[in-house]
């Protein structure tokens, strides 16, 4: 357990000196005052510092801080930047004024980057339902999908979480994209590799989306009527979309 000794100089002249200069002049006199004296305890050190005076009027106040200061604690650059510090022109790393106000909260961490959703892909020509019906469908799946996800995590862990969740990486597909993938599979029987290429992901997220969303559609009584035309290739999907004024440009895969 560490202890700190707080020292304050009461030297009138020189109060306008840079802090580093004042500290150097103060501690040089403290060192001369206790030279040759065994520093065997905190009490001896504090009393030796407090007894330091000079003929020009230096007086020193010293006291023992009994609070615990764990060794090895580190302060990040972000935390330092949030302090209300005014650095001086002369050696600002050493000389600064800490304003008596609470530090500003650190900025929120940046959101993990991912390709934006293509809202225009959920066109009635692709989903077979109106825009209003599509919005209602995706909204109705939000809570059941979250419950489904929590139940899967509970079963995987064998119990509730033991620590707070971290930010982590964003999902490969949003809920709306997972729903669209499943609807395209049911409506046009489009192969999974084709949808993986369209959404810029591997086949894994496509398989996962269909596995999770299909039961939720069934539970909610949502029926996706199959279209007579099967869109089996990316060219088929693109041509069908272009015929209805939809730009179906595939998303790029994220860099590894």
> Average pLDDT for residues 190-197, to the nearest whole number?
94
| pLDDT tens readout for residues 82-106 | 778 888 888 777 787 877 777 666 6
Q: What local confidence, expressed as pLDDT, does residue 165 receive?
A: 53
| pLDDT tens readout for residues 240-250 | 999 999 998 88
| pLDDT tens readout for residues 61-81 | 888 888 877 788 787 777 777
Percent of the chain surpassing pLDDT 90: 34
Q: 137, 129 in Cβ contact below 8 A?
A: yes
Q: How many CB atoms lie within 10 A of CB 196?
A: 20
- Residue 200 pLDDT greater than 70, yes or no: yes
Of the candidates 128, 151, 144, 120, the one whose C-alpha atom is nearest the C-alpha of residue 214 is 144
Q: What local confidence, expressed as pLDDT, does residue 2 receive?
A: 47
Whether the full predicted model's pTM is greater than 0.85, yes or no, is no
Interatomic CA distance for residues 8 and 26, integer angstroms? 9
Cα maximum dimension of the chain: 103
Q: 35, 93 in Cβ contact below 8 A?
A: no
Task: Give the angle 77-78-83 at the CA atoms, nearest 5°.
Answer: 95
What's the token pair of residue 1?
A: 């357990």
């Amino acid at each position: 357990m560490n202890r700190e000794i707080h020292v304050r100089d009461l030297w009138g002249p020189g109060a306008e000196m840079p802090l580093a200069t004042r500290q150097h002049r103060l501690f040089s006199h403290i060192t001369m005052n206790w030279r040759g004296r065994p520093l065997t305890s905190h009490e001896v050190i504090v009393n030796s510092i407090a007894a330091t005076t000079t003929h020009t009027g230096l007086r020193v106040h010293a006291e023992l801080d009994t609070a615990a200061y764990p060794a090895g604690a580190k302060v990040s650059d972000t935390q330092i930047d949030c302090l209300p510090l005014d650095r001086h022109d002369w050696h600002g790393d050493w000389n600064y004024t800490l304003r008596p106000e609470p530090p500003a909260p650190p900025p929120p961490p940046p959101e993990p980057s991912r390709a934006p959703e293509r809202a225009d892909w959920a066109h009635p020509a692709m989903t077979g339902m109106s825009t209003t019906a599509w919005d209602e469908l995706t909204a109705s799946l939000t809570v059941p999908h979250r419950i489904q996800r929590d139940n899967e995590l509970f079963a995987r862990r064998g119990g509730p979480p033991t620590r707070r969740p971290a930010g982590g990486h964003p999902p490969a597909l949003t809920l709306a994209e997972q729903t669209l993938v499943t609807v395209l599979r049911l409506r046009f029987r489009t192969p999974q590799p084709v949808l993986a290429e369209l959404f810029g992901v591997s086949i894994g997220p496509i398989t996962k989306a269909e596995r999770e969303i299909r039961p939720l559609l069934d539970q909610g009584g949502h029926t996706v009527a199959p279209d007579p035309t099967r869109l089996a290739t990316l060219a088929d999907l693109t041509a069908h979309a272009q015929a209805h004024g939809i730009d179906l440009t595939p998303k790029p895969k994220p860099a590894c």
